[in-house]
Structure 1
Amino acid sequence: MATAPAAEGAAPKGGGSKKKLIIIIAAVLVLVLAGGGAALLLLKKKPAEDGEDAADTTEAPVKAKAHAKSDHPPTFVPLDPFTVNLADKDVDRFAQIGITLQVDDPHFADQIKTYMPAIRNNVLVVLSRKTAAELLSVEGKEKLAKDIMRESVRPMGIELDNADEEPAADAPKKKKTKKAAVESPVTQVLFSNFIVQ
Structure 2
Amino acid sequence: MAEEKKGGGKKLLIFIVIGVVLLVGAGVAAYFLLFSKPAPPPEETQQEAQPQEPEVGPFLQLNPFVVNLADPTGRRYLRVKIALELKDEKVLSEANNRIPQINDTIIMVLSSKTVEEVLAPEGKSELRFEIMNKLNQLLGPGTVRGVYFTQFVVQ
2:100 matched to 1:117? yes
In structure 1, the gaps of 5 or more residues are: 1-38, 48-65, 159-182
> Residue 44 of structure 2 corresponds to which residue in structure 1?
43
SS at match of 2:149: strand
Alignment partners' CA distance in 2, 1:192 and 1:123: 15
Normalising by structure 1, report the TM-score: 0.51
Letter in 2 for 1:184: G
> Residue 152 of structure 2 corresponds to which residue in structure 1?
194
> Residue 14 of structure 1 corresponds to which residue in structure 2?
none
Is contact 2:87-2:142 (8 Å) kept?
no
Normalising by structure 2, report the TM-score: 0.64
Letter in 1 for 2:45: K
Letter in 1 for 2:103: R
Is contact 1:126-1:147 (8 Å) kept?
yes
Residues 96-135 of structure 1 mapped to structure 2, 5 A cutoff: 96-135=79-118
Letter in 1 for 2:113: K
Moved over 3 A (4+): none
2:82 matched to 1:81? no
SS at match of 2:91: helix
Percent of aligned positions that are identical: 31
Alignment partners' CA distance in 2, 1:120 and 1:81: 10
Deviation digits for residues 38-85 of structure 1 (CA, Å, limit 9, x no counterpart): x93x533549xxxxxxxxxxxxxxxxxx93xx2xx4211011110000
When structure 1 is superposed on structure 2, of 86-95 and 74-83 the one drifting more is 86-95
Letter in 1 for 2:142: S
In structure 2, the gaps of 5 or more residues are: 1-40
- Equivalenced residue count is 112
- Alignment RMSD: 2.4
Specify whether residues 115 and 142 from structure 1 end up closer, same or farther in structure 2 by C-alpha distance, changes over 3 A only. same
